[in-house]
Amino acid sequence: MIPEKKWDKISVKEICSKAEITRGTFYQYFDDIYNLMEEIERPMLEDLERRAVFIKSHIRSHTPPELFEEKFDYTPPETLRQWFRFCKKFRKPMARMLDRKNGDTYFVKRIKVTLTDHINHMMDEDGMPHDALREHFVKIFLELHFLSASTWLTADADDEFLSIKEIINLLNTMRVGASYLSYKRTTNPDFDSLMSLDDAE
């Protein structure tokens, strides 16, 4: 019902009619619409937390920027894999929760906190410095996680949208590119002048 109506505006009466149950049956299990939504979201959030523990147990070798060309691990990290496995497992509810107009913005905020932690963990393993550039990259990378997931979740079977594997590889290209730029900044004295843009641009 969420695509047609904001979730907290859906009444118990509407839910009972749609589910073909009585109001008495509804109240045997839930206090109200908020309690129902909490019961839908709780196992999803718990699953994501379990994935966070799994991600942190899969330690990738830390690569200092100066050793980028020799030792950097280009393979997609577990962070990216687990995010899309999570989205695939909860495909239908995630598509509804991420609905920009009628989804649950509080639920999205809670997921963003966990996902930001995942991304920072990934960047720590990649040896990325904690600087202003990283702060911006984390924010942009986080939004791209949601944008790509939301687009994939709501795509019709006939749409020629990217597969999960292709999306992961695309996001991983950005991750590798950020690490490469960090490496070049460390090793190339002309980096800042080469990367500078005209004021007109």
Average pLDDT over residues 43-69: 83
Token pair recorded at residue 43: 């196992």
Of 181, 166, 155, 14, nearest to 80 by C-alpha is 166
Report field, pTM of the whole predicted structure over 0.85: no
What would you report as the CA-atom Rg of the chain, rounded to the nearest whole angstrom? Answer: 21
Look over the chain and give the mean of its residue pLDDT values, rounded to a whole number: 87
Report residue 183's pLDDT band, with 50, 70 and 90 as the boundaries.
confident
